[in-house]
Amino acid sequence: MQRKAFKMQLKPGFEAEYKRRHDAIWPELTKLLQDAGISDYSIFLDPETLSLFGFQKLESGNTGDELAGKAIMRTWWDYMKDLMDTNPDGSPVCKDLREVFHMD
């Protein structure tokens, strides 16, 4: 099992809307993520900087890198792009974080 952490950037004034949309995450998107081998997925918000910190566990042999080609994923990105910094293809700007400490 691999752990992955990353950060994204929320636009000012969209804190409540970002949470509302994730509270109502589409079941088909949840299934897509699970089927890709992603579990224990959390996103945290730093309200001072509006940085979003994501954490997920990836099963060995996961297909997370293939999610960008899935219609549901692209529709979700389109749904979220008004709230956060995005790339030209609509995906969120994600910066991977390097693990410097872990304790079980």
Active-site hit among 20, 22, 31, 95: 22
pLDDT of the residue at 74: 97
Per the annotation, the verdict on 22 as an active-site residue is yes
pLDDT of the residue at 93: 98
User: Do 7 and 85 touch, CB atoms closer than 8 A?
Assistant: no
The DSSP letter of residue 62 is -
Closest to 52 in 3D by CA, of 42, 62, 61, 60: 42
Interval 15-24: pLDDT, tens: 999 999 999 9
Interval 36-69: pLDDT, tens: 999 999 999 999 999 999 999 999 999 999 999 9
Confidence grade of residue 79 (pLDDT, cut at 50, 70, 90): very high
pLDDT of the residue at 37: 98
- Whole-angstrom Cα distance, residue 68 to residue 74? 7
Q: Which residues, at least 6 apart from 23, have a Cβ–Cβ distance to it below 8 Å?
A: none
Interval 82-98: pLDDT, tens: 999 999 999 999 999 99
Domain boundaries, the chain: 2-97
**Model confidence, pTM:** 0.92
Class of CATH domain 2-97 = alpha beta
pLDDT of the residue at 80: 97
